[in-house]
Every structure is written in structure tokens, then in C-alpha cells.
């Protein structure tokens, strides 16, 4: 429960910051986060596929 409260507080702080940031900066930061999440997802998928074949 405390984790959810902390996550909501952090989300509120981030959204408040994005509302005051220039649009170009917000789009660039969003693109960087999207690329990072995509790389993470590919690494996880590749790691699990290799791990299941070994066992």
C-alpha cells in the first residue's frame, strides 16, 4: 500500500514538472524513455528465450 502511495506521489511530481517544461523537451524525454523501455524489453525477451533453451 505504501508503494502505491509513493508511486502516485512521484507520478504527480513528474506530471507537474512536465506541465511546466517546454513541449520539445517533454517529447524528447518521452522518446528517450520509449527507446530505453524498448531496449529493455528486447534484452529481457532475448535472455528468457536463451535461458529456456539451455534447460
- Predicted local distance difference test score (pLDDT) of residue 19: 83
E strand or H helix that includes residue 32 = helix 23-54
Contacting residues for 45 by C-beta, under 8 A, at least 6 apart: none
- Predicted local distance difference test score (pLDDT) of residue 27: 92
pLDDT tens digits, residue range 8-54? 888 888 888 888 889 999 899 999 999 999 999 999 998 877 665 55
In the chain, where the domains are located:
1-48
* pTM exceeds 0.75, yes or no: no
Amino acid at each position: 500500500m505504501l508503494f502505491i502511495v509513493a508511486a502516485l506521489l512521484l507520478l504527480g511530481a513528474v506530471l507537474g514538472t512536465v506541465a511546466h517544461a517546454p513541449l520539445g523537451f517533454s517529447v524528447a524525454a518521452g522518446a528517450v524513455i520509449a527507446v530505453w523501455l524498448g531496449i529493455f524489453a528486447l534484452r529481457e525477451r532475448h535472455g528468457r528465450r536463451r535461458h529456456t533453451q539451455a534447460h
